[in-house]
Amino acid sequence: MAATAETNGMTAYGVSAKVPASACPLADEPADIASNINYHAKYSPHFSPFKFEPEQAYYATAESVRDRLIQQWNETYFHYHKTDPKQIYYLSMEYLQGRALTNAIGNLDIQDAYGDALNKLGHDLEEIIEQEKDAALGNGGLGRLASCFLDSMATLNLPAWGYGLRYRYGLFKQLITKDGQEEIAEDWLEKFSPWEIVRHDVVFPVRFFGHVEVTPNGSRKWVGGEVLQALAYDVPIPGYKTKNTNSLRLWEAKASSQDFDLFQFNDGQYESAGQLHSRAEQICAVLYPGDATESGKLLRLKQQFFLCSASLQDIIFRFKERKGGEGSRQWVDFPTKVAVQLNDTHPTLAIPELMRLLMDDEGLGWDEAWDIMTRTIAYTNHTVLPEALEKWSQAVMRKLLPRHMEIIEEIDKRFMEMVHTQRKDLENKLSTLRVLDNNPQKPVVRMANLCVVSGHTVNGVAQLHSDILKSELFADYVSIWPSKFQNKTNGITPRRWLRFCSPELSGIITKWLKTDQWVKNLDLLVGLRQFADNVDLQDEWASAKMANKQRLAQYILRVTGISIDPNSLFDIQVKRIHEYKRQLMNILGVIYRYKKLKEMSPEERKKTTSRTVMIGGKAFATYTNAKRIVKLVTDVGNVVNSDPEVNDYLKVIFVPNYNVSVAEILIPGSELSQHISTAGMEASGTSNMKFALNGCLIIGTLDGANVEIREEIGEQNFFLFGATADEVPRLRKDRENGLFKPDPCFEEAKQFIRSGAFGSYDYNPLLDSLEGNSGYGRGDYFLVGHDFPSYMEAQATVDDAYKDRRGWLRMSILSTAGSGKFSSDRTIAQYAKEIWNVEGCCVP
């Protein structure tokens, strides 16, 4: 007889017949949770009714968890509405959220109950978690930081909103082929996301192009052009073991049905009939669309303005509706109820847009609007790289946003007047300090300058970075406004980056500290220091690390087909591929290591420290040298991994499509991680904090947050090399003057590539960046050649240290013990107190 759903203990709906399908939205007990999951499978269907396979089970489970989140969400917003606290509005072009299911059941403290419930339904929680695709809303550290901050704001009960865009195709999904990296569109919304709620009542108009009209009373109005609609999608952000559940509000661009030309369509002009709909889709299609063309630049500016305009209209609407509607509140109160934080320069247009809304829509004069705006908006700087400090063509700005260009010109004019009257000593520097660069060849708006001139606070993201901002990049502004500049060293959430991604290690930490309070108070980790030499702790630590390494080895086998040895040293560098992050130095070191292994006798090889080197990260689609680095890593891996003389002692893996979920497997399984940027170029870095927290030792330069990590964990537990930030300018000058003498090992590694040992691909354009003394794309701007000898010495020290198993475990424990400072809870508490002036508002 053919098996039917009923004979397998399943109903015609594909779900378990033994478990009733009944709604229990706030269930705590596994049996009731299973019923609620079953209820969603049956009554919130997204698939035909005969299946309850892992994918269907994932969506039903997510909707069951969402029931509880919605309850907490509603309670949170009723509470905020009633108590009317000052609120934080965090504007960011990207959020790198990672999977929501693990985080939600972890923060709600219901993971065990959900595991048991899914077992009753014939499924395993781990398998169900694997069904979720990472939300493709971000790319690198900027987006991941924003997501850590949202987690900490909710955990600290701070009334806060995140604002972003709902990118359909993300940056890209990375494929690794014989030609290197290929990019295809992300598919996270191919079906749907169960975590977002569309708010059909939250819609705001956003205008582009048009012109400015002067009304009879002298006020100015922006009219004409094209108008799109911004529609809100809300994602719940639960705090850890608290009722507070905040929102990440993502905007989608839409055109209305009136914008569809039925006459044109029926006349066969299909594309022009839906032209505005097509333009609306482009805005939220892709994160960071290529900007080599004029249309690409225009689209990026549209994205930035769309985020700023929709978010500020929403903020103003909420300000006006609270406390019994209009009339009961004065505009002067706005900065006492609203704090807006700009995450880098991408949301800079919030400055002129808030001015426009206050003056043109609300009828305020310039001085009052300026006072409100400057007391509301603060700016976080994330880079000192000149190409990342955004500058927009004045012509493009004037065409797309004519009213905003007028406002920016007025801000620029008033700033110059202030300097003329109050700081005559700076008049000769005005051309670099002012907002507008009127260079006739290329007149631009300098977005970082606009932020510094207009915001009440500017912060860097690590002590070294903030010091460089104050002493170099913004030094003259500091002399005008000394109290405007602060440091806020970045942090990471210990929930996602230790508690949930490494349960074995977390359990050991809780056992030895005799409390799990460290998950919310990371400073308690310092209590592990007293046990660093304890053999029992070291053995437990080693066993947790090995479990994580085995899990990572299984993952690598699954995605690359390459088998790696968990007894080898796992050496990992994962981050955006960029020349300043120096993945090139890493692979050159690997090439030199491979060449030396080839020259050894079998007996000599046995005395070496076996290594598995893993490199991962996305190269921006148009960044040619970064893509060449990816190709080089894969070519080296192909040769090394198939060389029987060497592959027991060295493996080289390029980990494809690096994202948050991949990081959650890589970081707990790592033992050495490389944070080797040219000193002074990495603002902070946050993956360094994640690795250190997980007991992974760092080889690195004195750059970004490495400086503070080394201070906290102890310099003897950090493998340091390379030039310092204050030496870099002199070394570049020496190079230009022909004073650099390359190390023979460095030359040997480059020559080995040129010999064709890794295939026929032409690596000369990449290697040429390391040659010569000056010129575009030459002269080794990132000092790979200078730092290479000390890098190889540090790697030799690593090899020796790893042979001392007890010594290595001690250092690993001390690394975790010293990571307390790097919690995003600490960072956010400092922002709240020292920049936003916002207090916790705990839902009872």
Closest alpha carbon to 693 in 452, 432, 519: 519
- Whether 663 contacts 574, CB under 8 Å: yes
| Strand ranges inside 403-443, DSSP E | 436-437
Q: Which string of b and e fits 190-214 if b means at least 16 CB within 10 Å?
A: eeebbbbbeeeebbbebbbebeeee
| Active-site annotation holds for 302 | no
379 in helix, strand or coil? strand
* Two tokens, residue 811: 């250092």
Q: Is 18 a catalytic residue?
A: no
Q: What are phi and psi of 285, to 5 degrees?
A: -75, -50
What does residue 576 show for φ and ψ, rounded to 5 degrees? -50, 140
Q: Are 683 and 461 in contact (CB under 8 A)?
A: yes
CB atoms within 10 A of CB 768: 13
Helix (H, G, I), strand (E, B) or coil at 219: coil
The residue type found at 334 is F
| 33 membership: H or E segment, kind and range | helix 30-43
Q: How would you list the strands of the sheet with 650-655, edge to edge?
A: 650-655, 611-616, 569-574, 672-675, 697-700, 719-720
The answer to whether the CB of 532 falls within 8 A of the CB of 815 is no
Catalytic residue status for 297:
no
The answer to whether 676 and 615 are in contact (CB under 8 A) is no
SS3 labels along 227-289: EEEEEEEEEEEECCCCCCEEEEEEEEEECCHHHCCHHHHHCCCHHHHCHHHHHHHHHCCCCCC
Task: Write down the catalytic residue from 40, 249, 465, 575.
Answer: 575
Write out the E strands in 77-167. Answer: 87-91, 160-165
Q: Helix, strand or coil for residue 744? A: helix
Backbone angles phi, psi at 173, to 5 degrees: -95, 130
**Considering 254, 495, 576, 631, which one is annotated as catalytic?**
576
CB atoms within 10 A of CB 724: 14
**Pick the catalytic residue: 446, 488, 499, 581?**
581
Q: How far apart are CA 823 and CA 148, in angstroms?
A: 9
- In the annotation, is 575 catalytic? yes
Helix, coil or strand: residue 101: helix
Which distant-in-sequence residues (6+ apart) come within 8 Å of 496 by Cβ? Answer: 98, 102, 103, 106, 148, 151, 660, 664
- CA separation for the pair 670, 614 (Å, rounded): 10
Pairing of strands 180-184, 173-177: antiparallel
CA atoms within 13 A on the CB side of 391: 14
Taking residue 18's Cβ as centre, other Cβ atoms within 10 Å add up to: 13
Distance between first and last Cα of the chain: 58
Residue 596 annotated to the active site: no
Q: Does the active-site annotation cover 382?
A: yes
Catalytic residue among 245, 380, 634, 686: 686
Determine the Cα–Cα distance for residues 166 and 249; give it in Å rounded to an integer.
9
Exposed, middle or buried by CB within 10 Å (0-12, 13-18, 19+), for 443?
A: middle
- Rounded to an integer, what distance in angstroms lies between the CA atom of residue 130 and that of residue 192? 16
- Name the active-site residue from 690, 786, 810, 821: 690
Contacts of 734 (CB under 8 A, 6+ apart): 740
**Cα–Cα distance, 322 to 340 (Å, whole number):** 18
Please give the structure tokens belonging to residue 125. 């929680």
Q: Which of 144, 249, 382, 710 is catalytic?
A: 382
Query: In sequence order, which residues have a C-beta less than 8 Å from that of residue 74 and are 6 or more positions away?
Result: none
Query: What residue type is assigned to position 90 of the chain?
Result: Y
Question: Could you give the CA distance from residue 784 to residue 794 in angstroms, rounded to a whole number?
Answer: 14
Q: Which active-site residues does the annotation give?
A: 382, 575-576, 581, 686, 690
